Amino acid sequence: MRGPPAPVALSLVNGVPVVEDAVLVTADQAAVAVEARGQAHRLAARAAG
């Protein structure tokens, strides 16, 4: 039986930390979530015709 994946402690891209102690440090998570939500609504509306 497998559980959920462990949180990311550190993720580097080209040597630059983007996730530290399971926190995204290179972007505003709330702003990303708002933008993604808006895009999802637009996509759903487009798909519905």
Q: List the pLDDT tens digit at each of the 49 positions of the chain.
A: 789 888 899 999 999 999 999 899 999 989 999 999 999 999 999 999 8
pLDDT for 35 equals 97
Residue 28's φ and ψ, nearest 5 degrees, are -85, 105
CB 36 within 8 A of CB 28: no
Say what the pTM is.
0.58
For residue 30, what pLDDT is reported?
A: 93
Specify the pLDDT at position 5. Answer: 86
Give residue limits of the domains in the chain: 10-48
What gap in Å lies between CA 34 and CA 19, rounded to an integer?
20
